[in-house]
Amino acid sequence: MRIRIIGAPIDLGADRRGVDIGPNAIRYAGLSEQLQHLGHTVHDIGNLPIPSPRSQPVGDLRLKYLEPIVEVTEALANQVTTALQESEFPLILGGDHSVALGSVAGVAKVYKNIGVLWIDAHADFNTPETTPSGNIHGMILSALAGLGDKRLTEIGGWTPKINMEYIVIIGVRDLDPGEQDLLRKHHIHVFTMSDIDQQGIASIMQQAIAIAGHNGNPIHVSLDMDALDPHEAPGVGTPVRGGLSYREAHFAMELVARTEQMVSMDVVEVNSILDRENATAQLAVELTLSALGKKIL
C-alpha cells in the first residue's frame, strides 16, 4: 500500500495545550520506518501550517477558535482528497480531534456512504447548544453528521458528510447530558466500555464493522488515544479511567485490518507534554501498524 502521512498539529479545538507536538512525536516513535518494514510505501508530506492559539482571537465562547479551525480543516480536506485521487492511503496525525472534520470531509468527496469507526472515550457529539466547554473538538462527529453550526457542518460545501446509520462510537465512557440526548434522538450506534466489559472486544468490533461497513462501505477509522486507559496512554489531553486495554485496542485494529475496507485513518490527541518517555506516541505507532496489517504471526 502507498501511504501518505499528513501532519495536522492543530491545537485550537481543546483547552489543554500540547497536542500540537503529537504528529512529530508519532514520527519520532518510528512510524515511517515501521510502516516501510511492513512493506508499505510511505510518502510523508510533513505538517500543515497551523496558527497558534496565542495568535488568534477565541471568538464565540460556544465555538472557540471557529474561524481558524474552519480554515485548517478545509485545507486538510483538500489534502486528503488529493491523496485518495493519487491512490495513496491518507494517514492523518493530530493534533486534537477537530482534525477529523477535515479528514472525513476529504474522504467523503471521493467515497459515498462512508462508514466511520469513532474510537474514543468521548462521543464528540455536542453542538453549540449542548457544549459545556465551547471546545470544538467535542462537536466534530455531530458536525460531520450535519448537526450544529453551519460553518462546521458545511465544510467542503455540503452537508452531511456521513449517514448517521453508518456511525459507530466505540469505547465511550464520558458523555455530557445534552450529548446523551442527541445520541439517543438520532439513534447513533454507541458501544460503551460497559458493553465491551459485557460482550468482549471481539463481539463489539464485529458488530461495529458490520454497521460501519454495511454493503461493503469504505471505512474511516478515527482513533483518539484517550480511548485507551490512561495507564496505557498517559499522554492525552482528556484522560478518562476505565478505557481499552493494550490488547483490546490492538485486537480492535487487527479486526479492522482484516476487513480490507479501511480507506483512511486519523490518530489524534497525543499530548507529548503530558506523556511519559513518548509512551503514548509509541503506542499510537503500534496501533496504526496493527490497523495497517501487522500481525503477531
> What's residue 237's pLDDT?
87
Residue 235 and residue 270 in contact, taking contact as beta carbons nearer than 8 Å: yes
Strand partners of residue 220:
116, 264
Residue 243 and residue 227 in contact, taking contact as beta carbons nearer than 8 Å: yes
Q: Give the separation between CA 258 and CA 265, rounded to whole angstroms.
A: 15
The three cell numbers locating residue 296: 503477531
* Active site amino acids: 97, 120, 122, 124, 137, 224, 226, 269
Please state the domain extents for the chain: 2-291
Could you tell me the pLDDT band of residue 297, with boundaries at 50, 70 and 90? confident
* Closest by CA position to 215, among listed 159, 168, 146, 261: 261
* Closest by CA position to 201, among listed 251, 241, 246: 251
Residues 6+ apart with CB under 8 A from 112: none
Residues 6+ apart with CB under 8 A from 285: 26, 29, 30, 31, 34
What's the whole-number mean pLDDT along residues 80-94? 98
Q: Give the separation between CA 122 and CA 144, rounded to whole angstroms.
A: 15
Give the position of cell 464565540: 60
Could you tell me the pLDDT band of residue 54, with boundaries at 50, 70 and 90? confident
Q: Where are the alpha helices (DSSP H) in 156-278?
A: 177-185, 193-199, 201-212, 246-259
The dihedrals phi and psi of 153, each to the nearest 5 degrees, come to -65, -30
Q: Give the separation between CA 53 and CA 11, rounded to whole angstroms.
A: 7
Q: Give the separation between CA 172 and CA 195, rounded to whole angstroms.
A: 10
Rounded percentage of the chain residues whose pLDDT exceeds 90: 96
What's the whole-number mean pLDDT along residues 197-225? 98
The chain-wide mean pLDDT, for the chain, equals 97
> What's residue 242's pLDDT?
98
Dihedral sign computed on CA atoms, order 125, 82, 218, 93: negative
> What's residue 16's pLDDT?
85
Chain centroid offset of residue 267 CA: 6
| Residue 15 pLDDT exceeds 90 | no
The three cell numbers locating residue 166: 453508518
Question: 246 exposed, middle or buried (CB, 10 Å; 0-12, 13-18, 19+)?
Answer: middle
DSSP string, 145-171: TT-S-HHHHTGGG-S-SS-GGGEEEEE
Q: What is the pLDDT of residues 99-144, one digit of tens each?
A: 999 999 999 999 989 999 999 999 999 999 999 999 999 999 999 9
Domain 2-291 - what CATH class?
A: alpha beta
Could you tell me the pLDDT band of residue 57, with boundaries at 50, 70 and 90? very high
Q: What is the pLDDT of residues 151-180, one digit of tens each?
A: 999 999 999 999 999 999 999 999 999 999
Distance from the first to the final alpha carbon of the chain: 20
Q: What is the pLDDT of residues 215-247, one digit of tens each?
A: 999 999 999 999 999 999 999 989 999 999 999
Residue 95 and residue 49 in contact, taking contact as beta carbons nearer than 8 Å: no
Residue 135 and residue 69 in contact, taking contact as beta carbons nearer than 8 Å: no
